[in-house]
Amino acid sequence: MLFNQSIINFKELNRDDDLFWSQSAPINCSIIRLFGIYLCLSSFIGILSNGSLLYSFVRYKELRSPPNIFVMFITGIGLLASCTLLPLTGTSSIYCQWLYRRIGCYIDGIIGFLYGTASAYLLCAVSISRCYIIIRPLNANTITVRKSIIASCIVLFISFLWTMMPLFGWNEYTMEVGRTSCCISWYDRRPSYISFTIVIFIFIYCIPLIILIGTNTTTMIGLRRMREKLERGIQQSFSRKRIEMERRILKSITITTCGFFITWTPYSVAVLISIFLGEDYGTPPIITSISSIFAKSSAIWIPLLYIGTSTHYKLRFVNRIELDANVAPSNRVGLTGTKQMARMRGNPHSVNSQSIQ
């Protein structure tokens, strides 16, 4: 038997009662331990992938283009999740019960909520910035590194406000039904709890998803029209090479976005079902736990997908000696491709083209 539905009814216990935090998971421990090992390995991989990606952005100024600023912030929050969220849930899954009591539960819930919210909003920000550059190519220079940093900080602040609301009484952070991780209390039937869960489902899942689909589709159509006009000999603001590079950027953003939402969608659906059907008739604990683990492991999939689709990152990270030589003062000729051509041709739009290649 994969789970025991009768064990789930623990909400009558007081949160200060040790029994509330020490109950075993209502799932076959052999199964949940396998997922615990997976999360611990994911934590290690996430620290390496997010850490190496963040190091590259910090180490090499050439990589800190406006679109990459948003990716850098996603990587930073992903590194935080890999160092805290994944180990907390992973080790608890291995021991088949929550190990870190109330304080650990708050940390796990807050960081998980912050990571999911900030990542969704930052992906929207990078997609909107690329869409704006394609639609308004003559205003491409208005998308600067400074503005991207400010926008990223605003996004993090908004995400932080969302995570604080359960601490001030609109819902709360508690153990999930699988009892090896924590999140908001989405199975509580009180109206204020249900309203918060529905609101975040709309504003943190549905609206970002609509924005991402709309902006990426608009960008793809804009690039296709530019390429068709070039083939007919009509002068465009972007060269053929720039259009091809923007197409690769769009591909990288789209694949990374799809990876994020594919990992979070099963969990969102499981939560939505439980909101309307209640815990006794909603998704079983094993399904909820698996979808929750799958969602949290997106902390490793976002950097891995970015590394796998970004030729710019692979070039800079793997050929570190070559890049160090390029940025050395004695070898200024290595100001790579786009910047050098921009200065020679006096094309202001080419400077912005060194993005997520």
As a whole number, mean pLDDT of residues 9-24 equals: 67
Q: What's the mean pLDDT in 181-189?
A: 85
pLDDT digits (tens, 9 = 90+) for 204-227: 999 999 999 898 888 888 877 777
Structure token digits, residue 326? 């390029």
Check residue 325 and give its pLDDT.
56
Confidence of residue 279 (pLDDT cuts 50, 70, 90): low
What is the DSSP secondary structure assignment for residue 24, as one 8-state letter?
B
How far, in Å, CA of 229 to CA of 235, rounded?
A: 7
Least confident residue range of 161-165, 286-290, 326-330:
326-330
Q: How far apart are CA 118 and CA 159, in angstroms?
A: 5
Cα angle at 100 between 86 and 109, to 5 degrees? 55
pLDDT, tens digit (0-9, with 9 covering 90-100), for 35-92: 999 999 999 999 999 998 899 888 888 888 888 899 899 999 999 999 999 999 999 9
Task: Kindly indicate the confidence band of residue 3, based on its pLDDT and cuts at 50, 70 and 90.
Answer: very low
- Spatial neighbors of 241 by CB under 8 A, at least 6 apart, are none
pLDDT at 89: 93
Please report the beta strands in the chain, taking only residues with DSSP state E, as ranges in sequence order.
Answer: 173-175, 182-184
Can you tell me the mean pLDDT for 280-300? 80
Contact by Cβ (8 Å): 243, 255: no
Query: What pLDDT is stored for residue 23 in this prediction?
Result: 79
Percentage, residues of the chain above pLDDT 70: 77
Average pLDDT over residues 10-15: 60
What is the per-residue pLDDT for 312? 59
Q: Are 52 and 115 in contact (CB under 8 A)?
A: no
The yes-or-no verdict on residue 152 having pLDDT over 90 is: yes
The residue ranking higher by pLDDT, 260 or 310, is 260
Predicted local confidence at residue 310, as pLDDT: 67
- Select from 194, 201, 187 the least CA-distant residue to 278: 187
> Which pLDDT band, with edges at 50, 70 and 90, does 16 fall under?
low
What's the CA gap between 206 and 214, in Å, rounded?
12
- Answer whether residue 340 shows pLDDT above 70: no
Give the least confident one: 76-80, 151-155, 161-165, 221-225: 221-225
Gap between the Cα atoms of 242 and 246, Å rounded: 6
CA–CA distance, 252 with 248 (Å, rounded to integer) = 6
Check pLDDT > 60 for residue 281: no
Q: Is the pLDDT of residue 113 over 90?
A: yes
More confident residue, 2 or 79: 79
